[in-house]
């Protein structure tokens, strides 16, 4: 089954559970052996494979045993850096100028066009 944005939440959980069971069986592991290797209860493995909700840490532990944890980088890669965040990380904070201010503004002198003799 192909998982898309239109797939229901329950269908996604069921598909993840089916795939986890398939990988476990390819490794010739029982649910009990898999649970012990992952550091979770056998009931947690049963819930995971049935498509029931489990804690995220238990999914991470199961993926680690199946050597599929690196798959997280493919389905949820790092977000691209925001240019403003990059500037702030470099210590350069963007400052906004006042709309009525000029860099050479001197409040003690009257304003001139600059072409007076």
pLDDT, tens digit, 9 for 90 and up, residues 41-95: 999 999 999 999 999 999 999 999 999 999 888 888 888 878 777 777 776 555 6
Task: Please state, in angstroms and rounded to a whole number, the distance separating the CA atoms of residues 34 and 117.
Answer: 89
All structural domains of the chain: 9-69 (1.10.260.40)
**Cβ burial 92-117 (10 Å sphere, 16+ → b, else e):** eeeeeeeeeeeeeeeeeeeeeeeeee
The pLDDT of residue 92:
53
Question: Residue 114: its pLDDT value, please?
Answer: 74
Residue 7: predicted pLDDT: 84
Question: What local confidence, expressed as pLDDT, does residue 11 receive?
Answer: 92
Residue 40's contacts (CB-CB under 8 Å, 6 or more residues apart) are: 58, 61, 62
Determine how many CB atoms are found less than 10 A away from the CB of residue 15: 15
Predicted structure pTM score: 0.64
């Amino acid at each position: 089954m192909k998982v898309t944005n239109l797939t229901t939440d329950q269908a996604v959980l069921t598909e993840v559970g089916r795939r986890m069971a398939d990988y476990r069986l390819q490794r010739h592991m029982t649910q009990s052996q898999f649970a012990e290797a992952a550091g979770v209860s056998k009931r947690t493995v049963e819930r995971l494979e049935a498509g029931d909700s489990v804690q995220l840490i238990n999914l991470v532990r199961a993926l680690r045993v199946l050597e599929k944890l690196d798959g997280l980088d493919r389905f949820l890669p790092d977000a691209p850096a925001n240019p403003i965040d990059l500037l702030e990380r470099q210590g350069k904070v963007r400052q906004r100028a006042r709309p009525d201010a000029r860099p050479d503004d001197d409040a003690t002198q009257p304003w001139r066009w600059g072409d007076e003799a």
